[in-house]
Structure 1
């Protein structure tokens, strides 16, 4: 029996990915109908509207739902690469290709020494659990860039930095991937790439940075951690209301600004913890770079006043990269994220009407999903600290994870 050949051709993994992605395509192309509200309207209505504005050479600054950095225009304009399809169809095909690229990268990485195919399985299962929403948002494209950046990692710091800089101009959060980067090359490359792109957009397209002030009057989104306060309060006479605001369904009314401020405070606390961790690091095993990126994005997602379903694809991608490393301590947090994906697809879109109504089912689903994310964040932060800061080095299962990288900048 050709054992090596079997290892290099993970038939079950490839078959599972192929079948689940076929299902996702059938859902977004509306051959099959997914329960709940239509998740594809963002592409066919909102994205397409932005596309018509962007192709004239300006940003949709009069549209309060445009809240993205300038390179997001590239993702919105990308369906023009497939002119033989209509806008929505082209977008779904490109989302599928981005998904395929991530899968191929994780499969390739998983077959290298000291690695495992767990990451490719996490990606395959996690994206499938999130349902067709993943193919109807440009977050999958951003995640593809960040997965490529993390897999470049310490071996190619300049490549990683360039991809992080580009990703940050797509949707800001990829900048968190530099949390554990210790090489100046990565930081310099990221700064140069982001700066050059920002300058290019600033000089060629008006209102490229209007997104910086477009969210000042946002409420608390109904799926966020803070929203649980109001979901419960509605049963005790709170007289606020649910409203479609700034492109998402939010709570507006008394005390909403207090909860939004509390969310911002928690984000500051998360940043402070990450800074303390960075100053306290004693050792950096090979997987610490990706583990720290996962922890950082997980913390900032949990503390955000908006936790949209598509944000989960960021966490699935980062968890998948972590679990490519045999020595990663993020196994439990990664599986908690997968469980949160299942709860997410149930709260949106399947039972989103129940969430908006704050009934028992909707509130329970949110408590489960957000509780799993909070538990994942706390567990991941503890494991990162134990692996890189604690005086006693925890046992690791492979020699590759005992190799330490120098903290000296190069």
Structure 2
């Protein structure tokens, strides 16, 4: 596909996803005008600054894009301003990914991202995760040749939404120049922390960790699947404190409490597996993509939250895998597209039926959750099978 055609398709995918935000039920844009805009207005008007003056569910840098969208004064709609901001960030990352357009693997990856966005729909645009994805993607694409820049970009993304820390871990394990990644991320982290502390927010700098720990078992979480089908007499309830639907019943509190240590254990095992393959001499092209995907998938599978936008994280390691080793990326890449499509159906299309625990809608959600588990297994198997004698002459496609 020609470079111009790819750009046109990428723009069309954004227009499609943004338009569906206005058309689909269940408020797919709700977070932007119900949550992000009030937080931005409060900060700009001298009121409470989330993450500085008050504890917050997000890392403090997440407020920056929310405020930036509010300053785009030529838009009467905050949701539209947010969508344009996301589209601009995606376009910059798309330009880095595509490069000059002379590399077939890069063109394939660019086309894949376009399809992924179209399948995932408005949830790929109207959530704070949509800002962290292009930052993490650019960092991962540049990591082999610009590790310090990669560390800085992914470090910044982590201070917006925590999940890119999985990418950092993969880079530290797989790259020889891992120290530069660490220094890049540390420099950004110190700068952000310094600003927050200087603004008087030292007490709330890491409040997002405690806020996440206090959450219950959200209905879209993988571990919530059996409870939605009636296990333990569970029911769906809305939490006004964290503005989300959770399952409540016999065993849900225990499962919710267990998931955080389970996540830590699973992530540790995957990191040890990745370090073992690196120590055995497996090439970076065989280690880094499945390692990054396995860590990101593990954060989703073992998460007590399970919000639909979490699936947008999966595209970052998949795109690198396509660029570096597209033959082995075919299977997991296809599965991620299925996950995106099923997620779009669950939210926002049949979300109300999920809340009403109607069986057909629950089956779609269950299929999505099983697919994510399958993706995790696939990525771990690919990492396990990496061998020292299989080397590649290129890191960029």
TM-score w.r.t. length of structure 1:
0.85
Over 3 Å counting, the alpha-carbon distance change for 1:21 and 1:216 in structure 2 is closer
Over 3 Å counting, the alpha-carbon distance change for 1:289 and 1:279 in structure 2 is closer
How far is the alpha carbon of 1:328 from its aligned partner? 6.5
**Residue of structure 1 equivalent to 2:137:** 147
Check if 1:247 corresponds to 2:243: yes
How far is the alpha carbon of 1:100 from its aligned partner? 1.8
CA contact (8 A) 1:243 1:252 kept: no
Distance of 2:53 and 2:228 partners within structure 1: 29
Higher share in helix = 2
CA contact (8 A) 2:55 2:208 kept: no
How far is the alpha carbon of 1:360 from its aligned partner? 1.1
Over 3 Å counting, the alpha-carbon distance change for 1:242 and 1:218 in structure 2 is same
Distance of 1:249 and 1:209 partners within structure 2: 24
How far is the alpha carbon of 1:402 from its aligned partner? 12
Check if 1:217 corresponds to 2:210: no
SS of structure 2 residue aligned to 1:335? helix
Over 3 Å counting, the alpha-carbon distance change for 1:62 and 1:176 in structure 2 is closer
Distance of 1:356 and 1:109 partners within structure 2: 46
How far is the alpha carbon of 1:65 from its aligned partner? 9.6
CA contact (8 A) 1:110 1:120 kept: no
Over 3 Å counting, the alpha-carbon distance change for 1:89 and 1:327 in structure 2 is closer
**Residue of structure 1 equivalent to 2:33:** 44
Distance of 2:54 and 2:190 partners within structure 1: 25
How far is the alpha carbon of 1:126 from its aligned partner? 0.8
Q: Which aligned pairs between 1:74-153 and structure 2 lie closer than 5 A?
A: 74-86=64-76, 87-108=78-99, 111-112=102-103, 115-153=105-143
Distance of 2:225 and 2:65 partners within structure 1: 33
**Residue of structure 1 equivalent to 2:259:** 263
CA contact (8 A) 2:40 2:67 kept: yes
Deviations 1:203-249 (A, max 9, x none): 21433433232234321110111111211225xx7154422351221
How far is the alpha carbon of 1:58 from its aligned partner? 4.3
How far is the alpha carbon of 1:63 from its aligned partner? 11
TM-score w.r.t. length of structure 2:
0.88
Q: Which runs of 5+ in 1 are unaligned?
A: 1-6, 404-410
**Residue of structure 2 equivalent to 1:275:** 271
Deviations 1:346-400 (A, max 9, x none): 111101112112221122111110111111110011112212xx46x45x7x643
SS of structure 1 residue aligned to 2:160? helix
Q: Which runs of 5+ in 2 are unaligned?
A: none
CA contact (8 A) 1:152 1:160 kept: yes
Distance of 1:16 and 1:218 partners within structure 2: 39
Cα RMSD after superposing both structures: 2.7
**Residue of structure 2 equivalent to 1:197:** 192
Distance of 1:23 and 1:215 partners within structure 2: 32
Q: Which aligned pairs between 1:327-366 and structure 2 lie closer than 5 A?
A: 329-366=328-365
Deviations 1:154-186 (A, max 9, x none): 201110111122111111221221223332111
Distance of 2:100 and 2:313 partners within structure 1: 18
Check if 1:17 corresponds to 2:13: no
**Aligned residue pair count:** 384
